Amino acid sequence: MKHPFPFSAIVGQDEMKQAMILTAIDPSIGGVLVFGDRGTGKSTAVRALAALLPPIMAVDGCPVNSAKAADVPDWAMLETKKLVEMPTPVIDLPLGATEDRVTGALDIEKALTKGEKAFQPGLLARANRGYLYIDEVNLLEDHIVDLLLDVAQSGENVVEREGLSIRHAARFVLVGSGNPEEGELRPQLLDRFGLSVEVTSPKDIATRVEVIKRRDAFENDNTAFMLRWQAEDAAIRDGILTARKALAQLKTPEKTLHDVAELCLALGSDGLRGELTLLKAARAYAAWRNDTALTRGHVKDMAPMALRHRLRRDPLDEAGSGTRVARIVEETLG
Amino acid sequence: MAEAVWHRAVLAMQLLAIDPALGGVSVRARSGPVRDRLVSLLTWLPEPHHRIHPAISDEALFGGLDLSATLATGHFVQEQGLLSRSGTVILTMAERAATQLAARLAVVLDAGATHRLIALDEGAEPDEALNPKLAERLAFAVDLSGVSVTEAALPDSVDLAAAITHLRQVAVPDDICEQLTRIAAQFGIDSLRAPLFALRAAKAHAALCGKMTVDADDVEIACVLTLAHRATQMPSSDEEEQDAPEPDQTDSDDQDQTDTLDLPDELLLEAIKALLPDNLLDRIAAQKARQGKGSGSGAARKGNRRGRPMPPRPGRLGDGARLDIVATLRAAAPWQTIRKQATGRDGLQVRSDDIRVKRFEEKSDRLLVFTVDASGSSALSRLAEAKGAIELLLAQAYARRDHVALVSFRGTEAEVLLPPTRSLVQTKRRLAALPGGGGTPLAAGIVAALEQAVTATRKGLTPTIVILTDGRANVALDGAGNRVQAAADAQRMAQVVRAQRIDALVIDTGNRPEPALSALAQTLGAIYLPLPRADAARLSASVATALGD
């Protein structure tokens, strides 16, 4: 298989890259939604992220990538419970996926050959403790969306079909990308994404030329190009690991909490998810930048990403919600 | 001219054969000898060739259960999908490909230079075109509609194998990259795939000619082949062009003034239009139409667009029921051991009570075709209120996930401002930019709305036509200012709408209820809402009630 385009080699699109790094630092932020025009490198960035993520320890052969032997579900019927290192799973949810494939279903092969009723885990099981990537998320069939909403919320996949009754852990970071021209996303699904970024194609010629050159180099001599960017990718990976450790020590002053709450109140975002995500994102951002305490600056920088998709939607508002957030941030936090 | 087109088409095929990363070619032509001749050139492209059609199922594309093998062996046998091996995919009737299929093919094309796609687009109307998602990922687009057989000479054979091996050695001078990017930007092409394709095409062309470095010739040909069809503006006179696509945008800021300040606006618009070359405007319009078509993931699938596959249930075959093979096998599976023991036979044993049939829940989406009278009489009195009311209705439509189309009529003709879409921001923008003034060609408005409604019905939507007018039709279908003829035409068109069994709603926005409109509503079999002096909120409330929400 060809290597994906290296993450560090992506020109510009800083907000998108930042958002992805933040979810890698703190998966509980809850995923990224990337909306933008055609040909802006949305899919490229997500696929690049997979190569960048630090490996995880999981029980060998466990269908849900359990971290401890005790977490392995009974139906997996594993012999050994040895821990092995494996890459963080990044699972593609293709648009055409059927419900069976997403949630898992009766294992036909076992049923046919052995007459056994066994469970064949689906994509949600494989994505546990990793990432679930949906390209063209706004074109996803409604019934699959319903399914995802429930699982993303509860962190557990419950399968009740064909006489099977099975539940397993399914905690994953949702990453979605799409082109808003082709259809909008239901607010319920929007809310499940922690951060949202909007990408546009770079406007100045120099940047565009650089994109073209790197892409061409990548396609011409894959190995050399990967080698060239290996160090940079590794630096980001190390940064993520350092930030994960630093996150625990990070101080959150009362004043900043106040800022966050005030901001969300001013924006009128629904529920408390906005506050929580903004706080988590700001903390991860501070850790990534090697700061020891959370400040108003961090909150200000993260507000557009964390809140832009949570505003009470006015479908007829022409100004982008990003602008609205920026304006209110300026008004409240100065 | 036509020979040059054919020559470019042949060249595109050759370049594609040399470099698979070019994605493919979109060929717009009706089925005929010219297209057949081009298709015969496909032998240049690597095997296997798969012909697929827009209604192809995911199982056929990506693989699934191989029923006959599974039944014969009693093992689960996975069938290979058409896309599981690299090769050349020929998509016939490409203009009918729905967004869902386009998205799947796009993923395959993105995954790497393994597949080449030849999209045979037979679209007859400008808005029937290849899905933009796919068009974006194909380097070339050729339109063979003007080429006759005599002009389509079969090319001399070239040594493609040599060119393929040579491709890796072709060097690209640094400034070529910059030049291509700049040219693409000047043509208003946002996507970065375009200059990339141009670069690869230039290299492939250099390889074809046996050159070691890309030179000006290659660049020129590459630009013609890959960039021309993507252009959204003419280069070098930037200012006007950037304003052109949405000339009336300033309107939206001062809603109150729209009904009084329209004429100068219109003059301005005409002045800007005159500065633009004709074909570019056409092209932008066509692109807009295409975008509209693709939005909301609308299009194609009939009836059960939102149809959720219901759980399969036990049933009999026949009566058009579709067998759910997987579910049937699942139902039979647990019994296999027992049945084998009972009958002493080997192999899969399926009994009639294992049969499961597929069920779908059908629910078709609603489409509201707003048909707005923007004539002088309307404009003076009520256009602002009508706009306001539509905006409120749009917000409701959004909440219900309805599709919306916008048709306006004034002067001598009607205009489709927005084909069915779910993008309400776009709708609002077009509505705000709607200028007023001129006569009332009511019949033309109904015809345009009817066309939208009929097309939507074919796509499985349930259309409702909402006509907002003050009712004094004074321009006949042929554009003549004849009050009597105009009224008769409107009545006639209303009968056609009724014959098509399309729901309608007539809102009289005049200061006094207009008897002619009441009669029109009767002909339409529609609800008639005279709303003199109603403000936007009341207007929308009445409409919502009439629509039964």
B 320-379 → A contacts, CB under 8 A: 326, 329-330, 333-338, 348
- Does domain A254-333 fall into CATH 1.10.8.80? yes
Of B174, B297, B428, the CB nearest to A183: B297
Helix (H) or strand (E) holding A263: helix A254-267
CB B406 within 8 A of CB B370: yes
Distance between CA atoms of residues A160 and B314, nearest Å = 18
10 Å CB burial of residue A279 (0-12, 13-18, 19+) is buried
Q: Is A70 exposed, middle or buried (0-12, 13-18, 19+ CB in 10 A)?
A: exposed
User: Token pair for residue B129?
Assistant: 């075109």
The residue ranges of DSSP E strands in B56-212, in sequence order, are 63-65, 78-80, 87-91, 115-121, 140-143
Omega of the bond prior to B48 within 30 degrees of 0, cis?
Answer: yes
Q: Do B422 and A183 touch (CB under 8 A)?
A: yes
Q: Are A15 and A305 in contact (CB under 8 A)?
A: yes
CB contact under 8 A, A96 and B337: no
CA dihedral B41, B45, B50, B52 (to 10 degrees): -60
CB-CB neighbors (< 8 A) of B107 in chain A: 94-95, 135
Minimal-distance CA residue of chain A relative to B176: A209
Task: Please state which CATH number belongs to domain A7-199.
Answer: 3.40.50.300
Query: Cβ contact (<8 Å) for A316 and B75?
Result: no
- Of A246, A282, A283, A89, which Cα lies nearest the Cα of A171? A89
B136:A183 CB<8 A = no
Among A92, A182, A190, most B C-beta atoms within 10 A, so best to mutate, is: A182
Nearest by CB to A43, from B110, B168, B296: name it.
Answer: B110
Q: Do A41 and B192 touch (CB under 8 A)?
A: yes
Residue (of B249, B238, B244) closest to B270 by Cα position: B244
In which residue ranges of chain B is CATH 3.40.50.410 found? 293-297+365-546
What type of residue sits at position A318? Answer: E
Domain ranges of chain A: 7-199, 254-333
For B170-266, list the strands marked E by DSSP. Answer: none
Of B136, B181, B391, the CB nearest to A38: B136
Is B297's CB within 8 Å of A138's CB? Answer: yes
What residue type is assigned to position B148 of the chain? S
Backbone conformation region of residue A129, classed left if phi is above 0, alpha if psi is from -120 to 50, else beta: left
Spatial distance between the Cα atoms of B92 and B121, rounded to a whole number of angstroms:
7
pLDDT in tens, chain B (549 residues): 677 788 888 888 889 888 888 888 988 888 888 888 888 888 888 878 888 888 777 777 777 666 666 666 666 677 777 777 788 889 888 888 877 788 888 878 877 667 888 998 887 776 677 888 888 888 888 888 878 888 878 777 778 888 888 888 888 887 778 777 877 777 777 888 888 888 888 889 998 888 888 887 788 788 878 877 777 766 554 333 333 333 333 333 333 333 333 334 344 334 334 433 344 444 544 444 443 333 333 333 333 334 455 666 676 655 456 677 778 888 888 888 888 888 777 777 787 778 787 766 555 577 888 888 887 776 555 677 777 777 777 777 766 667 888 888 888 888 888 788 777 777 777 777 777 777 888 888 888 898 888 888 777 778 888 888 876 778 887 777 788 888 888 888 888 888 877 888 888 877 777 888 888 888 888 878 777 666 667 767 776 776 655
pLDDT at residue A134 is higher than 90: no
Return the number of CB contacts < 8 Å for A and B: 156
User: Structure pTM?
Assistant: 0.65
Domain(s) of CATH 3.40.50.300: residues in chain B: 2-230
Sign of the alpha-carbon torsion through B213, B215, B219, B221: negative
Q: What is the DSSP secondary-structure string of B375-405?
A: SHHHHHHTHHHHHHHHHHHHHHHHHHT-EEE
Chain A residues close to B424, C-beta within 8 Å: 315-316
**Phi, psi for B422 (deg, rounded to 5):** -110, 0
Dmax over CA atoms of chain B, in Å, equals 90
**Fold match between domain A7-199 and domain A254-333:** no
Domain B293-297+365-546, architecture per CATH: 3-Layer(aba) Sandwich (3.40)
Contacts of B253 (CB under 8 A, 6+ apart): none
pLDDT tens digits, one per residue of B466-520? 888 876 778 887 777 788 888 888 888 888 888 877 888 888 877 777 888 888 8
Closest CA to A27 of A126, A122, A132: A132
Is ipTM > 0.85 here? no
Question: Which CATH number fits the domain B2-230, given the four candidates 3.40.190.10, 3.50.50.60, 3.40.50.720, 3.40.50.300?
Answer: 3.40.50.300
